[in-house]
Amino acid sequence: MLRLLAVFALVIGMMAPAYAQDDNGISRAQTGGAQTLDDILKRQDNQRVDDEFRRNATGDPDAGAPTDAPLGTRGGQSDAEMWRGVRFDSADIRSQQRGPAATTLIQDGGMWWLKFREGPLLIYGAALLGGTLLLLAIFYAFRGRIEIEGEKTGRTFTRFSDIERFGHWLLAGSFLVLGITGLISLFGRKVLIPVFGHDAFSALAVVTKWIHNNISWAFMLALIIVFVFWVIHNIPNRKDLVWLMRGGGIFGGGHPPATKFNAGQKIVFWAVIVLGTSISVSGLSLLFPFEFNIFGHTFATLNDFGVMGWVGLDPLPYPLAPQEEMQFAQLWHAVISLVLTAIIFAHIYLGTVGMEGAFDAMGTGEVEETWAREHHSLWVEEIENAKAKQQSKET
Partner 1 sequence: MKAFLCAMVGLVVITVGANLVLDQLPFSSADVSESKANVRLDD
The residue ranges that bind partner 1 (CB under 8 A) are: 95-102, 162-163, 165-170, 172-174, 177, 210-211, 213-218, 221, 287-291, 363-365
What is the three-class DSSP state of 355?
strand
Least CB distance from residue 109 to partner 1, whole Å?
17
Q: How far apart are CA 167 and CA 226, in angstroms?
A: 6
Least CB distance from residue 209 to partner 1, whole Å?
11
Amino acid 251 reads F
Sequence-distant (6+) residues with CB within 8 A of 243 are 256, 257, 258, 262, 263, 264
Least CB distance from residue 368 to partner 1, whole Å?
18
Q: How far apart are CA 346 and CA 349, in angstroms?
A: 5
| Beta strands at 156-158 and 366-368: parallel, antiparallel or unpaired | antiparallel
Least CB distance from residue 361 to partner 1, whole Å?
12
On whether the CB atoms of residues 323 and 338 are closer than 8 A, the answer is: no
CB closer to partner 1 out of 34 and 102: 102
Residue 34: count of CB within 10 angstroms of its CB? 10
CB closer to partner 1 out of 165 and 246: 165
Least CB distance from residue 163 to partner 1, whole Å?
8
Q: How far apart are CA 224 and CA 151, in angstroms?
A: 38
Least CB distance from residue 169 to partner 1, whole Å?
3
What are the E-state strand segments in the chain?
156-158, 366-368
CB closer to partner 1 out of 316 and 362: 362
Q: How far apart are CA 229 and CA 225, in angstroms?
A: 6
Least CB distance from residue 90 to partner 1, whole Å?
22
Least CB distance from residue 207 to partner 1, whole Å?
12
Indicate the Cα dihedral angle 357, 363, 368, 371, nearest 10°: 40
Sequence-distant (6+) residues with CB within 8 A of 57 are 33, 81, 84
Q: How far apart are CA 91 and CA 47, in angstroms?
A: 26
Residue 2: count of CB within 10 angstroms of its CB? 6
CB closer to partner 1 out of 77 and 104: 104
Question: From the CA atom positions of the chain, what is the Rg in Å?
Answer: 31
- Helical axes 110-118 vs 120-143, angle rounded to 10°: 30
CB closer to partner 1 out of 291 and 381: 291
Least CB distance from residue 215 to partner 1, whole Å?
5
CB closer to partner 1 out of 129 and 224: 224
On whether the CB atoms of residues 389 and 381 are closer than 8 A, the answer is: no
